[in-house]
Amino acid sequence: MAERPVEKGQTVRLRLDSLAVGGEAVGRHEGMAVFTLLGCPGDEAEVEITEVSRRFARGIVRSVIEPSPDRVDPPCPHFGDCGGCQLQHVSYEAQLRHKTAMVRDALQRIGGLTDVEVGETASMDEPWRYRNRAQYSAAVNESGELALGFARFHAHEIVALTECELQHPLSERIRTAIERLLPPTDQGGRERPLLLGVETFVSFSAGRALITLVCEGQPAFVRPLADALTEDVSEVAGVLFARRRGRAAVHRSPAELVMGEGHLLEEVGGHTYRVSADSFFQTSPVQAARAIELVREWADIGPGDTVVDLYSGVGTFLLPLAGRARRAFGVEAAESAVSDGKANARAWGLRNVTFYQRNVERVLPRWVERGRTADVVVLDPPRKGAGPIVTASVAKLQPRRIVLVSCDPATLARDLKHLAELGYPCARVQPIDMFPQTWHVEAAALCERQAEADGAA
């Protein structure tokens, strides 16, 4: 076996030249790729090797010898420690360039798609304080006091926050209020706090928030804390409670209303949506409006069309399309989102919309067996992508167009590759920066049926 060019604990000098999925900068040492935490493409840096495998290594920047022209000072005091952000040290203009490159690279390397038109990543006018949803984890510090924050880079330890530059200011006010209002004695000891996490959802247009307290069991402090929060933070519209399922706080039961309301109204692109605490909604209302308009344009719905929206959520994409279609169907597994979608359709005065609370992977093959068809299909799957069962079934619905919205370049590339093999080659991809200061990037893709494309040529 050939000797590896680096060893764990070794410090090497690297020129970093690109940005990888995950937010690490990439350099090479004697031909081996080194994925480098806190590096900026263009840096020449001293990198300590933290992990070595057969084909690559990982490291962390210990000193910058010659900084990249794209390197900037991160405004957040927790950057480099907290794992919530990866790119605050990279100028926003450079972040956009690298996200475009990541999408193009994934399409070519994973999907084998070399002739797809990829637009420049659509920027956010204000790339700070843009998140409408926060998921804080709870810990108890050495003094027995509650601390809310996010996990450390590549670790389970929680970094207690003094501030977060990405969250809506109302979420941050709620976080500090909970830390102040919940006595240490209510946490059940330092090793195992009873409050495991706090989720907030903020309506930018209404200026109001929902709070979900994720707990071990149902502690006695839930109702008194809910009362105190609504008095302390006047913009709190409702407080909910959920029990942890399994070992991680993110795996929880459906939220139960403690007091107030369980949903908010959010205006996006001139449309009002009802969104419950448990329902998925795009992270940034501003960029969501761009995505909605792009999907509407690419779907190109006609008055006689049937449109199907898979993973339809609260109807974010489906309802603007339904106003032009003959029939519109949404499929979504989450009960709260389906309830919101139905309420939104009623509020919009749409009578041609039907929502199904079903698992997409299960219901779609059954639709195909029954001979259902669609003129346009919209896909907005979770990060894992749609997968081959769904893409194969979508192709059998025989739509003329498929619009796919993805938050992961790798799964986007895999899904597009499969759709192309099924006769739906991708024509265009438009990245949208839904997540500034992080490596994540949203992208919309347009696929058109091969027969029509050939016939028009």
The torsion angles phi and psi of 263, rounded to 5 degrees, stand at -145, 165
What tokens were used for 99?
A: 């996200």
Residue that is written with structure tokens 């038109």 in the block:
117
> Are the C-beta atoms of residues 38 and 48 closer than 8 Å to each other?
no
Given the residues 85, 164, 407, 447, the one annotated as active site: 407
The amino acid at residue 67 is: P
Catalytic residue check, 82: no
The torsion angles phi and psi of 80, rounded to 5 degrees, stand at 95, -20
Which candidate, 281, 273, 267, places its Cα nearest to that of 345?
Answer: 273
> Are the C-beta atoms of residues 433 and 407 closer than 8 Å to each other?
no
Q: State CA 371 to chain mean position distance.
A: 34
Give the list of residues 6+ apart from residue 217 with CB closer than 8 angstroms, or none: 194, 243
- Sign of the dihedral defined by the CA atoms of residues 382, 384, 389, 395, in that order: positive
Which candidate, 312, 33, 279, places its Cα nearest to that of 132?
Answer: 279
CA–CA distance, 239 with 262 (Å, rounded to integer): 7
Neighbouring-strand partners of residue 265 = 274
- Cβ-in-10-Å burial (0-12, 13-18, 19+) of 452 comes to exposed
CA–CA distance, 232 with 219 (Å, rounded to integer): 21
Q: Are strands 32-37 and 56-66 parallel, antiparallel or unpaired?
A: parallel
The amino acid at residue 319 is: L
> Are the C-beta atoms of residues 418 and 412 closer than 8 Å to each other?
no
Give per-residue burial for 414-447: e unless 16+ CB within 10 Å, then b.
Answer: bbbbbbbebebbbeebbbbbbbbbbbbbbbbbbb
Active site residues: 407
